[in-house]
Amino acid sequence: MAAEEGQWVLMATGRSPTNIAVIKYWGKRDEALILPVNDSISVTLDPDHLSATTTVAVSPSFPSDRMWLNGKEISLSGGRFQNCLREIRKRARDVEDEKKGISIKKEDWDKLHVHIASYNNFPTAAGLASSAAGFACLVFTLGKLMNVKEDYGELSSIARQGSGSACRSIYGGFVKWCMGKNNDGSDSIAVQLADEAHWNDLVIIIAVVSSKQKETSSTSGMRDSVETSPLLQYRAQTIVPNRVLKMEEAIKSRNFESFARLTCADSNQFHAVCMDTSPPIFYMNDTSHRIISLVEKWNQSEGTLQIAYTFDAGPNAVLIAPNRKNATLLLQKLLYCFPPQHNDLSSYMVGDKSILSDAGLNSMEDVEALPAPAEMKTPTQKSKGDVSYFICSKLGAGPKVITEGTQALIDSVTGLPKGV
């Protein structure tokens, strides 16, 4: 470890997207290695709107591994962090930084400690799979710092040991997590089905649904479902294998009708498994159900599927439109039913705000003038405050290194998070 021993800090910064499953992961066959009972398929979301940024720093002057999430120090003692750190350290290689006069030998990494600072560009508590983006980013960025040369499949298998769905955030576009057969989890990895450019007409609108209720964590919910739900076994063994094949075909041929049918059916079956769990788990709420009904009525009235919906372990709706036209029509219907509480239209839409003007919604007067959706029963209920805000996004790319030093979250001199 050359340079002046103890004087240097070496850093890497990366950014990783979150993802949303269209064929759901629900149930582990191995809790420690995080091995699933079925394959799952997801879409990776645009990192400009939903991502984690992580800086990892190493210095001989750090006495221990430490981590800060959104500016607050958190414990790294949990098994999931330890698994990721251990697996990346195992694969660390020689690192030379000639400019800084730093040379780290492979065997030095076991003695060196890291500081990790991570920041999510969306509310961590909003139930939007922040741990998927977070663990993918941690593994990817540690891998860069430690000059790990393993392929993305191997990285996905390490990210999986932090949070199952994190393995899918290692790639952009459409991603399959293959459950694998091996007991050591070596074949439980993610593969990219198609990149984000393959089907770039898709528009994703997320309704962040207000919820006061403390939700059952996915980890404990999944465990309860595996132990008590007969439907989970049937779904994993009989339904999903077939559905995965059909979904791969729908994605390959950009067949929205089939994509949407499979996505909605799989979301509904996942929530049926939750209801089939003892005691039953309710992730969706009244607002979620009203959004489903709005989409279903529209789909039925047209005779073809206009929108796909999917709900994870929480009440938020993820709505996928085949094109901009359908996304604007959807937004008009949504804003009729769920107008903003604080009459502030601009802060009610996060991400690609231009969808508002595309939908002709430039002011609260425009929202108030919206007609009731023709296919809904009259009078159509309007409720303010049931949706906290919307996010308009699209498919996005996988993890990237950020080279601009200004975007690093750790100070290169102190080795501590900036602003701490």
CB of 257 to ligand ADE, least distance (A): 35
The piece of 123-131, 342-350, 370-378, 404-412 that touches ligand ADE (CB under 6 A) is: 123-131
Q: Residue 319 and residue 45: Cα distance in Å, rounded? A: 12
DSSP per residue, 359-399: TT--SHHHHHTPPPPTTSPSSPP--TTSEEEEEEE-B----
Residue type, 133: A
- The reply on whether position 34 binds ligand ADE by CB under 6 A is no
Decide: is 417 part of the binding site for ligand ADE (CB under 6 A).
Answer: no
Using CB under 6 A, which of 42, 44, 59, 130 touches ligand ADE? 130
Q: How many CB atoms lie within 10 A of CB 174?
A: 27
Question: Is position 134 an interface residue for ligand ADE (rule: CB under 6 A)?
Answer: yes
Among 59, 83, 118, 263, binds ligand ADE (CB under 6 A): 118
Crossing angle (nearest 10°) for helices 79-90 and 152-160: 150
User: Could you tell me which of 117, 128, 115, 105 has the C-alpha nearest to residue 47?
Assistant: 128
CB 109 within 8 A of CB 89: yes
Please state, in angstroms and rounded to a whole number, the distance separating the CA atoms of residues 22 and 406.
Answer: 36
* Residue of 121, 124, 147, 255 interacting with ligand ADE (CB under 6 A): 124
Q: Which stretch binds ligand ADE (CB under 6 A): 133-141, 255-263, 297-305, 329-337?
A: 133-141
Q: Based on CB atoms, which residue is closest to ligand ADE, 42 or 328? A: 42
By beta carbon distance, the residue nearest ligand ADE is: 134
Smallest distance from ligand ADE to CB 20, Å? 15
Q: Which three-class secondary structure state does DSSP give residue 254?
A: coil
- Smallest CA-to-CA distance from 386 within 285, 287, 284 is with 287
Residue 138 makes contact with ligand ADE by CB under 6 A: yes
* By the rule CB under 6 A, 120 interacts with ligand ADE: yes
Should residue 52 be labelled a site residue for ligand ADE when binding is judged by CB under 6 A? yes
* Residue 69 contacts ligand ADE per CB under 6 A: yes
- Answer for the pair 221, 274: CB distance below 8 angstroms, yes or no: yes
* Only segment of 127-135, 198-206, 248-256, 319-327 that touches ligand ADE (CB under 6 A): 127-135
Residues that bind ligand ADE (CB under 6 A): 52, 69, 118, 120, 124, 130-131, 134-135, 138
